[in-house]
């Protein structure tokens, strides 16, 4: 692996600066600390191979391919502003490296400051943890993943890049109490609801950012039993916490117009409220309320209950989330 670092360092540096320009064009990296992190942390060290969809399934691209053209294709793909499939089992995607511009947006939304302790749920390749380490220092970063193969791989990638955060194999829904308390929690995998363990491990005033439905909700923690916040404007599709598929994946519900089914905003509402609303009810609400954008929705966690809502936590449109 050390030889690969030398071989790809120069080309990787040029490609990385191109990626940074792409992320800037997306509207992220306004914070100079994150701009520096994305400019200096080499993504190619964290994805020595990845998979692309082909006619007959997934095709593997890797840094050690004997064909220089294939190696060049691998490196170009690494530094595109795109998610990369990094682990596939039995034809199913179980781990990925997220789209860098989305990662930048998430990290900036957390409003991280010097000295903050951060818990990451979903170690992935280790790239996101490396960005956090660059910003905060290794001692302030903890990343957790259920899959031992993933944590071993992430730990190895991080070590090659010169970072040594705490990489823990365990159930991300339980957090990591031995490293608590945390000022920030960031999840890079989709969940149906907010694990109460995360809030209990947070300092008052902490922020929790997690994919939920097909969006990203940012919660402010009051104490271990209370948190509330709204969704960011962006859409977000992540691998589920235990490597399953997103819940809105069963095909178009009977009677639901194709135009509504294919509208990303409606899919968000329907997935968020599908425990309470059938497709027609969700469609009627969505149309009646002017096809609301994600940022009009929020989540409240309080005293062992949690619910999603439109516009107002105490308003007429609220739906219980599944028990964690």
What is the mean predicted confidence (pLDDT) over 2-15? 71
**At 260, is the pLDDT very low, low, confident or very high (cuts 50, 70, 90)?**
confident
Residue 218 main-chain phi, psi, to 5 deg: -115, 110
3-state secondary structure the chain: CHHHHHHHHHHHHHHHHHHHHHHHHHCCCCCHHHHHHHHHCCHHHCCCEEEEEECCEEEEEECCCCCHHHHHHHHHHHCCCCCEEEEEECCEEEEEECCHHHHHHHHHHCCCCCCCCEEEECCCCCHHHHHHHHHHCHHHEEEEECCHHHHHHHHHHHHHHCCCCEEEECCHHHCCHHHCCEEEEEECCEECCCCHHHHHCEEEEEEEEEEECCEEEEEEEEECCEEEEEECCCCCCCCECCCCCCCCCCCCCCCCCHHHHCCHHHHHHHHHHCCCCCHHHHHHHHHHCCCCCHHHEEEEEECCEEEEEECCCCCCCEEECCCC
Q: Is the pLDDT of residue 247 over 50?
A: no
Q: Is the pLDDT of residue 6 over 80?
A: no
**At 116, is the pLDDT very low, low, confident or very high (cuts 50, 70, 90)?**
very high
Residues 45 and 160: beta-carbon distance below 8 Å: yes
How much of the chain, in percent, has pLDDT values that exceed 70? 94
pLDDT at 134: 98
Please write the tens of the pLDDT for every residue from 212-222.
Answer: 999 999 999 99
Structure tokens at 225: 């039993």
Q: Is the pLDDT of residue 5 over 60?
A: no
Burial class (CB in 10 A: 0-12, 13-18, 19+), 29: buried
Cβ atoms < 10 Å from Cβ of 92: 11
pLDDT at 244: 38
Structure tokens at 259: 């135009």
Q: Which residues of 293-314 are buried (b: 16+ CB within 10 A; e: fewer)?
A: ebebbbbbbeeeebbbbbeeee
pLDDT at 193: 94
Residues 50 and 97: beta-carbon distance below 8 Å: yes
What is the mean predicted confidence (pLDDT) over 219-235? 95
Give this prediction's pTM.
0.92
**At 94, is the pLDDT very low, low, confident or very high (cuts 50, 70, 90)?**
confident
Q: Is the pLDDT of residue 246 over 80?
A: no
Please write the tens of the pLDDT for every residue from 283-308.
Answer: 999 999 999 999 999 999 998 999 99
Q: Is the pLDDT of residue 120 over 70?
A: yes
Q: Could you tell me how far CA 305 lies from the centroid of its own chain? A: 24
Q: Is the pLDDT of residue 153 over 90?
A: yes
**At 2, is the pLDDT very low, low, confident or very high (cuts 50, 70, 90)?**
very low
Question: CA 143, 149, 68 angle in degrees (round to 5)?
Answer: 100
Domains of the chain: 2-231 (3.40.50.150), 258-320 (no CATH)
**At 251, is the pLDDT very low, low, confident or very high (cuts 50, 70, 90)?**
low
How much of the chain, in percent, has pLDDT values that exceed 90? 77
- What mean pLDDT, rounded, does the chain reach? 91
**Is 39 among the catalytic positions?**
no
Distance CA 277, CA 280 (A): 8
Which one from 95, 97, 101, 213 is the annotated catalytic residue? 95
pLDDT at 242: 58
């Amino acid at each position: 692996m050390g030889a690969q670092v030398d071989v790809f360092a120069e080309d990787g540096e040029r490609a990385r600066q191109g990626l940074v320009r792409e992320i800037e064009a997306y509207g992220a990296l306004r914070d100079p600390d994150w701009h520096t992190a994305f400019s200096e942390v080499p993504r190619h060290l964290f994805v020595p191979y990845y998979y692309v969809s082909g006619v007959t399934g997934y095709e593997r691209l890797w840094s050690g391919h004997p064909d220089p053209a294939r190696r060049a294709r691998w490196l170009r793909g690494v530094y595109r502003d795109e998610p990369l499939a990094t682990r596939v089992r039995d034809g199913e995607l179980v781990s990925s490296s997220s789209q860098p511009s989305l990662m930048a947006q998430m990290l900036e939304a957390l409003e991280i400051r010097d000295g903050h302790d951060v818990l990451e749920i979903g170690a992935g390749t280790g790239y996101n943890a490396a960005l956090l380490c660059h910003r905060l220092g290794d001692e302030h970063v903890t990343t957790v993943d259920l899959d031992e193969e993933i944590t071993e791989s992430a730990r190895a990638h991080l070590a090659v890049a010169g970072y040594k955060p705490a990489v823990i194999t365990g159930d991300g829904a339980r957090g990591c109490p031995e490293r608590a308390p945390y000022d920030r929690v960031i999840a890079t995998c989709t969940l149906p609801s907010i694990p109460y363990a995360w809030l209990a491990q947070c300092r008052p005033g902490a922020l929790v950012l997690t994919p939920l439905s097909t969006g990203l909700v940012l919660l402010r923690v009051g104490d271990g039993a209370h948190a509330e916040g709204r969704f960011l404007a962006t859409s977000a599709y992540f691998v589920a916490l235990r490597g399953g598929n997103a819940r809105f994946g069963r095909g178009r519900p009977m009677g639901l117009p194709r135009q509504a089914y294919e509208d990303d905003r409606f899919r968000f509402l329907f997935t968020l409220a599908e425990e309470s609303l059938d497709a027609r009810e969700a469609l009627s609400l969505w149309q009646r309320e002017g096809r609301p954008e994600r940022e009009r929705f929020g989540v409240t966690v309080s005293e062992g209950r949690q619910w999603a809502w439109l516009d107002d936590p105490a308003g007429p449109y609220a739906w219980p989330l599944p028990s964690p």
